[in-house]
Amino acid sequence: MIKVSKVYKSIEDNNILKNIDFSLEKGSIFGLIGPNGAGKTTLIKCLTGIYEADKGSITIMDEPIYNNKYLKEKIAYVPDSCTFFEFNKIKDVIKFYKLTYKNFDMNKFNRINKVFNIPLNSSVKKLSKGMNMRFSILLALCINPEVVILDEPLSGIDPIVKSQILKLLIEEVSERETTVIISSHNLSQLEKICDTIAVMNNGEIKHFSSLDEMKENFRKLQLVFKDSSLVKIENLPGIVSFNNIGRVHTFVTSKYDDFKKALTGIELVLCEEIDLSLEDIFIHSLGGDGIEEIL
């Protein structure tokens, strides 16, 4: 469905994206996470065809996205903030979409708006942030796109609106096999709906896998060795975070199976395993204690 192959992008001599490479299946929900400045928005603008990659390629349904009018009709993009229609009436924006997108579904708009309650006689400028985001997502979904790309759709809005938006996206995937890409710092919400996650940092994808696989590979273990002097901690696989208090050694590993195998033959007084949330994984993989500071 979507294939990103060895993409590089520089802006004003700054290398923003470096060797980005992944693919997504139709009907999946993909979460893109990373700290501010990681390159997420630049990647999204490449995926939507706003930016052209300097090197590499991006194809959607086997066609290049950049400068492809036909393909862009099948992609809905909701940026983190949109001021294009700020001074327009909501009814006029709907008319614009109906003229621009031949597949715009007014019946679908009216059906969903019974829940969203967008005031059609208002102007866009008078909408609250949450209402504006609901309106933007509603417009995007009513063009019946093959791909929906959302940049920080959950930022600064209340829990009820978040729940409504997530439910709507899940329904869209279930009913139409729409492919959804979401960039967000709201990791607890992404964890509820995403099939696949990519962790970005410094313009690179550091981790890419299904959410289930990521949770299987990333684990926290608290160990007490019978004789810690016999253990070469630096040789244990996949350590992304490590500390010890007294005899208790706490590890976060990104290679759980290999880590467990490496413990074979080592006598343990205590071995406690702790599952990690997506937020825990993100913190430890990019912002946790580095082993190099401990050894």
Task: State pLDDT tens for residues 27-58.
Answer: 999 999 999 999 999 999 999 999 999 999 99
Rg (CA), the chain: 22
Place 287 in a pLDDT band, splitting at 50, 70 and 90.
low
Indicate whether 291 pLDDT > 70: no
Residue 262: count other Cβ atoms within 10 Å of its Cβ.
Answer: 17
Indicate whether 159 pLDDT > 80: yes
Structure confidence at residue 290 (pLDDT): 40
Among positive and negative, which fits the CA dihedral 54, 60, 64, 68?
negative
- Using CA atoms, how far apart are residues 146 and 142, in angstroms rounded to an integer? 11
Structure confidence at residue 270 (pLDDT): 94
Q: What is the crossing angle of helices 90-100 and 106-116, to 10°?
A: 150
Q: Which of 230, 233, 232, 210 is nearest to 281 (CA)?
A: 210
Average pLDDT value for the chain: 91
Classify residue 287 by its DSSP letter.
I
Every domain of the chain and the residues it spans: 2-210, 218-293
- Using CA atoms, how far apart are residues 218 and 276, in angstroms rounded to an integer? 7
Helix (H) or strand (E) holding 15: strand 14-24
Structure confidence at residue 284 (pLDDT): 87
pLDDT mean over 76-91: 86
pLDDT mean over 145-165: 89
Asked: is 2-210 a CATH 3.40.50.150 domain? The reply is no
pLDDT mean over 105-133: 91
Using alpha carbons, list the distances in angstroms from residue 102 to 29, 50, 95, 145: 25, 21, 12, 11
Place 128 in a pLDDT band, splitting at 50, 70 and 90.
confident
Q: Three-state SS for 149?
A: strand
167-187: pLDDT as tens digits: 999 999 999 999 999 999 989
Place 288 in a pLDDT band, splitting at 50, 70 and 90.
low
pLDDT mean over 73-84: 86
Q: What is the CATH number of domain 218-293?
A: 3.30.70
Indicate whether 124 pLDDT > 60: yes
pLDDT mean over 8-23: 95
Which residue type is seen at 117?
Answer: N
Do the beta carbons of residue 55 and residue 8 sit within 8 Å?
yes
Indicate whether 223 pLDDT > 60: yes
Do the beta carbons of residue 130 and residue 161 sit within 8 Å?
yes
pTM > 0.85: yes
Q: Three-state SS for 200?
A: strand
| Percent of the chain residues past pLDDT 70, beyond the cut | 96
Beta bridge partners of 29: 180
